[in-house]
């Protein structure tokens, strides 16, 4: 085909308006399963503490005489355990010029408000990653930031790990990772059983992407077909969102921000995020025609009792 002589085209025209969609697309994930399900508490110091206790083991020999008189030493009393964790600070800073704030923009009315929302989402992703990181607590100092002990540092009772791995068993140290191995249903059942024996009521299993897909092939997942009425078409369920164990029905959820080598078994009643400084916006000193902001949060992980958690460790 040949262009008509002297035809005026868009290639020569001036003043054509741009076609810019009035929306900003952002596919970056912002779901934080751990933070969304854990409890929320309040800290009143950079180091916050709590106590744990446990009942004596059950015995089969507690039979006493009728009318027996009690004499002699009483049963020994076991003191509570006092444990704690540190808060850590996370923040983002940003600035917007006065001109950028007032010009006509696509996708947002206020650049300041848009950047605020974007940085808040980024901090939450950082928090999720930090809470699930294999790191010990740190009291901090003049040149060292305080750090809250991540979830792996607390595990001491309910776990299935590689032979060369080692649990920290205290928040003052990180766990030692072992040789990675494949997740199996035997490993999962072992951890679930240990949790139940310890008194936990596990409701959620949290896994990385690869292990979530592996888990979907286990025999204990709920039926792969949903019940339908009449002539409706049946839906095939291809993910292990529900796992029926010997000790209850568990939700299986993926987490993009946890370590892929960790599989978590969680009783949400016993984990919380304590805030010393909830999310707040600080107006920084104004220098000329620009607005500067600092978005800050100070928080720490509380594991009320580590016996309520389970870990399948060293997964490949």
Q: Spell out the domain ranges in the chain.
A: 33-50+82-312
Return phi, psi of residue 300, to 5°: -150, 155
CA distance 157 to 208: 22
CA distance 66 to 64: 7
What's the whole-number mean pLDDT along residues 8-35? 78
CA distance 256 to 201: 24
Residue with the larger pLDDT of the pair 299 and 219: 299
Q: Is residue 132 within 8 Å of residue 284, measured between CB atoms? A: no
User: Helix, strand, coil shares of the chain as percentages rounded to 5?
Assistant: 20, 30, 55
CA distance 255 to 191: 19
Q: How confident is the model at residue 10 (pLDDT cuts 50, 70, 90)?
A: confident
Q: Is residue 265 within 8 Å of residue 202, measured between CB atoms? A: yes
Mean pLDDT of the chain: 90
CA distance 116 to 202: 36
- pLDDT, tens digit, for every residue of 58-84? 999 999 899 888 877 788 888 999 999
CA distance 43 to 89: 13
Q: Which residues contact 141 (CB under 8 A, 6 or more apart)?
A: none
- How many residues are recorded in the chain? 316
Q: Which of 10-24, 114-128, 245-259, 264-278 has the lowest mean pLDDT?
A: 10-24
- pLDDT, tens digit, for every residue of 261-286? 999 999 999 999 999 999 999 999 98
Q: Given the structure tokens 């987490």, which residue do they identify? A: 255
pLDDT at 302: 97
| Phi-psi domain of 246 (left: phi exceeds 0; alpha: psi -120 through 50; beta: other) | alpha
- pLDDT, tens digit, for every residue of 133-187? 999 999 999 999 999 999 999 999 999 999 999 999 789 999 999 999 999 999 9
Strands (E), 258-289: 263-266, 271-283
Residue with the larger pLDDT of the pair 31 and 84: 84
pLDDT at 236: 47
Task: Provide the token pair at 156.
Answer: 């001491």
Quick check: helix, strand or coil at residue 167? coil
Work out the percent of the chain whose per-residue pLDDT is above 90. 71
CA distance 278 to 283: 16
Q: How confident is the model at residue 220 (pLDDT cuts 50, 70, 90)?
A: confident
Q: Is residue 316 within 8 Å of residue 144, measured between CB atoms? A: no
């Amino acid at each position: 085909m040949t262009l008509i002589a002297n035809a005026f085209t868009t290639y020569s025209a001036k003043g054509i308006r741009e076609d810019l969609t009035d929306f900003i697309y952002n596919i970056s994930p912002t779901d934080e399963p751990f933070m969304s399900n854990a409890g929320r508490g309040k800290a009143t110091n950079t180091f916050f503490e709590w106590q744990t206790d446990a009942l004596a083991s059950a015995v089969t020999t507690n039979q006493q005489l009728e009318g027996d008189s009690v004499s002699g030493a009483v049963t020994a009393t076991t003191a509570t355990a006092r444990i704690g964790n540190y808060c850590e600070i996370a923040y983002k800073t940003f600035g917007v010029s006065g001109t950028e704030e007032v010009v006509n923009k696509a996708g947002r009315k206020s650049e300041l408000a848009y950047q605020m929302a974007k940085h808040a989402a980024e901090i939450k992703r950082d928090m999720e990653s930090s809470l699930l990181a294999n790191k010990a607590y740190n009291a901090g100092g003049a040149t060292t930031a305080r750090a809250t002990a991540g979830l792996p540092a607390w595990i001491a009772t309910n776990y299935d790990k590689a032979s060369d791995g080692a649990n920290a068993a205290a928040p003052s140290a990180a766990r030692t990772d072992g040789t990675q191995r494949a997740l199996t249903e035997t490993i999962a059942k072992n951890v679930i059983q240990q949790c139940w024996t310890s008194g936990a009521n596990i409701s959620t299993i949290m896994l990385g992407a690869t292990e979530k897909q592996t888990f979907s092939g286990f025999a204990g997942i709920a039926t792969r077909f949903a019940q339908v009425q009449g002539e409706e078409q049946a839906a095939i369920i291809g993910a292990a969102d529900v796992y029926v164990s010997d000790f209850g029905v568990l939700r299986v959820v993926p987490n993009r921000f946890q370590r892929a080598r960790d599989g978590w078994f969680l009783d949400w009643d016993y984990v919380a995020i304590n805030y010393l400084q909830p999310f707040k916006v600080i107006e920084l000193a104004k220098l000329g025609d620009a607005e500067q902001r600092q978005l800050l949060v100070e928080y720490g992980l509380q594991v009320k009792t580590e016996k309520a958690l389970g870990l399948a460790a060293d997964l490949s």
